[in-house]
Amino acid sequence: MTLEEIRALIQADLRSVDEVIRARLKSAVPLVDQVAEHIISGGGKRLRPLLVVLAARACGHPGTSHIEAAAFIEFIHTATLLHDDVVDASSLRRGRHTANEVFGNPASVLVGDFVYSRAFQMMAGLACQPVMEIMAEATNVIAEGEVLQLMNAHNPDTTEQRYLDVIYRKTAKLFEAGAEVAAVLAQAPPPARRALAAYGRHLGTAYQLVDDVLDYRSNPQERGKNLGDDLAEGKPTLPLIHALKSGNETQRAAIRRAIEQGGLEQLELVVAAIESTGGLDYTARLAREELERALSSLKALPDSSYKDGLAALARFAVEHTT
């Protein structure tokens, strides 16, 4: 099942999500509108809202509250991107200039705050305490993940477990929260709620592992990001951590220097070391293992086209890139 076929299962819902996103991002402050429009027009696959809608429908949700949930999950994601791009001094995302590149760092940070707070206004509007609790915890965990990643930057001694903790917090947690919120809104039984949370967690982990592979093995024009961005920022992702553990003395020295100093002067040497030590294949294998865990989690749900869509979404997030 292609991404277009997955979307076709819930086409009307996704149109409603887009309408809510546009309506809720409106502000009386012109600069907020300008930055928001820049974000919306930037496109993106919107995998997280897609997950929320599919999960709610897979649980038999008959209402429309999942539309608001899908939108506020995307808002939380958008706010983290606005802040991330400032922290990382990024200039390119999805093949376009980032908001901080166009409008400056102060505007990006402040509009990120606006998007965060608008998301919580939407959550409050649902008047569902479990949803508030899930999302309050999720945003707190995400913030901790950002700080942990900052602490790991330029540190070649970062362990695999520490790296995995960061990607759970920074990426997988929001997938997990979105899937669980969908189950709560659908009033699904506890086993289905736990299963969907696990599905989201494993899917999000796999998705980030694949992204870290693509940082060293992708076409910048197709991906919309520069090759080696993580290395330039001194981020010790799993391909680097594996190469540091498995490489020879010369390779380890080159990788340590690249992580400590940042920049892309060592990119060719580092990519060669990662390839020769199997760092990309190792990371891709872990991503496929997380995919299998995500698919296994879906066994707790009743059979439906929406459940099939969730399975296809997990495969799309991993297999089209590994």
CATH number for the domain spanning 291: value is 1.10.600.10
Task: Look up residue 2 and give its two tokens.
Answer: 């292609």
Total domains in the chain come to 1
Mean of the per-residue pLDDT values of the chain? 91
pLDDT (0 to 100) of residue 322: 40
Domain residues for 117? Answer: 3-319
- Taking 80 as the threshold, does the pLDDT of residue 9 lie above it? yes
Length of the chain: 322
pLDDT in tens, 225-256: 556 778 888 889 999 999 999 999 999 998 99
Percent of the chain with pLDDT over 70: 95
- Taking 60 as the threshold, does the pLDDT of residue 221 lie above it? no
Task: Look up residue 69 and give its two tokens.
Answer: 């949930």
199 with 300: CB under 8 angstroms?
no
- Taking 60 as the threshold, does the pLDDT of residue 95 lie above it? yes
- Taking 50 as the threshold, does the pLDDT of residue 180 lie above it? yes
pLDDT (0 to 100) of residue 262: 81
With left for phi above 0 and alpha for psi between -120 and 50, is residue 33 left, alpha or beta? alpha
The tokens 């945003």 sit on which residue?
A: 139
pLDDT in tens, 137-157: 999 999 999 999 999 999 999
pLDDT in tens, 61-84: 999 999 999 999 999 999 998 998
